[in-house]
Amino acid sequence: MTRGRQKRARREGGPAAAKIAAARRRELKLNAMTDETRSKHESIQAGVPVPAGRDGDGARAALLAEAERRLELAAGRDAARGLRRVVNATGVVLHTNLGRAPLSEAARVAVAREAAGYCTLEYDLETGGRGRRGARVEELLAELTGAESALVVNNCAAAALLTLSALASGGEAVVSRGELVEIGGDFRVPDVMSQSGVAMVEVGTTNRTKLSDYERAITGETRMILRVHPSNYRIVGFTAAPGLGELADLAHDRGLPLFEDAGSGALCDLSPYGLTDEPVISESIARGADVVAFSGDKLLGGPQAGLVVGRREFVEVLRRHPLYRALRADKLALAALEATLEAYRRGAALAEVPTRRMLAATSGEVEARARAFLSRVEGCRAPQSLRGQIITGESAVGGGSAPDVHPRTALVALTHESLSPGELGKALRFSATPVIARVADGRVLLDLRTVAENEEAELLRVLTSLPG
């Protein structure tokens, strides 16, 4: 090992780490070289002329340069397979493929500064002994929803699995036929129920379910009434379903808990922004739901997490269940969640939580940003090859929430003289910070609703460095 290599090894975690890193680089290089040799072989066999210089050395240099170029490309492709930060210019606020909610500044700082190293995850500074994981987050959740108690697990699917397993395993749960949801990524209510050891008792019809349907289905085997929010679809027309309060009264009358899987679930009323059909968690609690589960990274705008709130006696059963140990949230998620909930508690969610701001932005506000941005692009580059125009369009909430809400927006519509819309879209994806845009109607469409203001300079650099 050379002196420099030894120094670096010490810095990066000892000789073992250095050995692994070196082996990894060697493996990458070897793979790329093998690929390159194979492809050269194939082209020679196929009769593709080998680039020739004036002499043998020229041909060799050309070959080596080509091999080097391809090696760089292969290394770039390898890097692109890892987890990368991207600019989301799609206008889909909770883009599941792009990691749903972007975190607030405070949440990012909390993850990096408080939780990344050692932290008080399960430590009580006052007693110097063991503390309860997530204690502060649970307090905040209870306060913000009016619930007695709260618990945090890995995601909402885990929250549903845990609640069903802990409260209804070995018995029956009654659920409307209109609520047998499938969420993307294979969360299907009937499958989660059977996995939890709960017999599903379907009542009513797809479009109409009455309170008496539930009433008639309750037997000695019934352990709970289940209400599921049909997050990603709507049944419209001739429809009926009992209110949550009526269901709660029936459940309590028969000594049963009412469990609501609220899916997105908003911490405050989002109807001013057109989201009229999303359950507000505090209202579910006020109407008598005993346990409510919802996601941390959908409308709440925090990290991936499954949040359970409700009556203490039930939440404690969940906490003591062996599945909780397998499904609990990690320190990074808890830190980000705590910071996000603190913003709600200070009444600062609209100002600080990015998804809240994105959902609240009017089309006029997005248009003003789009126009200013386009004129900056035009100021930075001669517009011969890249042409832009502002057009109206629609954003989307995404994340399986509010499928019928399409906020009006303004789009920067781009065309390029020598790149097709597909090629332009690809060039944006391959820029230093990948930019993800929509390609539609022969244009590349940028929706600044989902682009943070401090990402605009970066987006501008990407557009100005396009070829042509």
Q: Which residue is nearest to ligand PLP (CB)?
A: 263
Q: Tell me how far, at minimum, the Cβ of 288 lies from ligand PLP, in Å.
A: 19
Query: Is residue 278 a contact point for ligand PLP (CB under 6 A)?
Result: no
Query: Is residue 241 a contact point for ligand PLP (CB under 6 A)?
Result: no
Q: Tell me how far, at minimum, the Cβ of 177 lies from ligand PLP, in Å.
A: 16
Please choose, out of 114-122, 156-164, 356-364, 418-426, the segment that lies near ligand PLP by the rule CB under 6 A: 156-164
Tokens 């007693």 appear where?
127
Instruction: Please check whether residue 144 is in contact with residue 302, taking contact to mean a CB–CB distance below 8 angstroms.
Output: no
DSSP 265-288: -BSS--GGGT--SSPBHHHHHHTT
Tokens 């004129």 appear where?
375
Instruction: Please check whether residue 156 is in contact with residue 306, taking contact to mean a CB–CB distance below 8 angstroms.
Output: yes
Q: Which one, of 272, 274, 215, lies nearest residue 249 by Cα? A: 215
Please choose, out of 47-55, 69-77, 141-149, 259-267, the segment that lies near ligand PLP by the rule CB under 6 A: 259-267
Residue among 354 and 434 whose Cβ is closer to ligand PLP: 354
Q: Tell me how far, at minimum, the Cβ of 464 lies from ligand PLP, in Å.
A: 38
Figure out which of the listed residues 103, 181, 285, 308 binds ligand PLP, where binding follows CB under 6 A: 181
Rounded Cα gap, residues 121 and 110, in angstroms:
13
Strand duo 149-153 + 172-176: pairing? unpaired
Q: Tell me how far, at minimum, the Cβ of 186 lies from ligand PLP, in Å.
A: 10
Cβ contacts of 3 within 8 Å, gap of 6 or more:
none
Q: How many CB atoms lie within 10 A of CB 313?
A: 11
Query: Is residue 155 a contact point for ligand PLP (CB under 6 A)?
Result: yes
Provide the H-helix boundaries in 311-429.
312-320, 322-327, 331-345, 349-352, 354-360, 363-380, 421-429
Tokens 């949230």 appear where?
329
Please choose, out of 7-15, 106-114, 226-234, 390-398, the segment that lies near ligand PLP by the rule CB under 6 A: 226-234
Query: Is residue 279 a contact point for ligand PLP (CB under 6 A)?
Result: no
Q: Phi and psi at residue 413, in whole multiples of 5°? A: -100, 120
Q: Which one, of 455, 385, 451, 459, lies nearest residue 92 by Cα? A: 451
Site for ligand PLP in 396-435 (CB under 6 A): 400
Figure out which of the listed residues 9, 87, 156, 370 binds ligand PLP, where binding follows CB under 6 A: 156
Instruction: Please check whether residue 49 is in contact with residue 63, taking contact to mean a CB–CB distance below 8 angstroms.
Output: no
Residue among 9 and 198 whose Cβ is closer to ligand PLP: 198
What are the angstrom distances between the C-alpha of 327 and each of 45, 118, 262? 56, 21, 19
Residue among 295 and 409 whose Cβ is closer to ligand PLP: 295
Residue among 293 and 361 whose Cβ is closer to ligand PLP: 293
Neighbour order of strands in the sheet with 438-440? 386-394, 408-416, 443-447, 438-440
Query: Is residue 231 a contact point for ligand PLP (CB under 6 A)?
Result: yes
Query: Is residue 260 a contact point for ligand PLP (CB under 6 A)?
Result: no
Q: 388 - beta bridge partners? A: 414
Dihedral over Cα of 463, 464, 466, 468: its sign: positive
Figure out which of the listed residues 86, 115, 166, 183 binds ligand PLP, where binding follows CB under 6 A: 183
Instruction: Please check whether residue 310 is in contact with residue 292, taking contact to mean a CB–CB distance below 8 angstroms.
Output: yes
Query: Is residue 187 a contact point for ligand PLP (CB under 6 A)?
Result: yes
Residue among 397 and 419 whose Cβ is closer to ligand PLP: 397
Please choose, out of 56-64, 119-127, 149-157, 377-385, the segment that lies near ligand PLP by the rule CB under 6 A: 149-157
Instruction: Please check whether residue 110 is in contact with residue 339, taking contact to mean a CB–CB distance below 8 angstroms.
Output: yes
Please choose, out of 32-40, 43-51, 155-163, 411-419, the segment that lies near ligand PLP by the rule CB under 6 A: 155-163
Q: Tell me how far, at minimum, the Cβ of 284 lies from ligand PLP, in Å.
A: 12
Figure out which of the listed residues 147, 164, 168, 228 binds ligand PLP, where binding follows CB under 6 A: 228
Site for ligand PLP in 286-305 (CB under 6 A): 295
Rg for the chain, CA atoms, rounded:
27
Residue among 393 and 398 whose Cβ is closer to ligand PLP: 398
Query: Is residue 229 a contact point for ligand PLP (CB under 6 A)?
Result: yes
Q: Which burial class, exposed, middle or buried, applies to 323 when counting CB atoms under 10 A from its CB (0-12, 13-18, 19+)?
A: middle
Residue among 395 and 401 whose Cβ is closer to ligand PLP: 401
Instruction: Please check whether residue 307 is in contact with residue 294, taking contact to mean a CB–CB distance below 8 angstroms.
Output: yes
66-105 mask for ligand PLP (x: CB under 6 A)? ----------------------------------------
- Count of residues touching ligand PLP (by CB under 6 A): 16
Our measurement of the distance from residue 368's CA atom to the centroid of its chain's CA atoms, rounded to an integer in Å, reads 27
Q: Tell me how far, at minimum, the Cβ of 154 lies from ligand PLP, in Å.
A: 8
Instruction: Please check whether residue 37 is in contact with residue 76, taking contact to mean a CB–CB distance below 8 angstroms.
Output: no
Site for ligand PLP in 305-334 (CB under 6 A): 306
* Site of interaction with ligand PLP (CB under 6 A): 155-157, 160, 181, 183, 187, 228-229, 231, 261, 263-264, 295, 306, 400
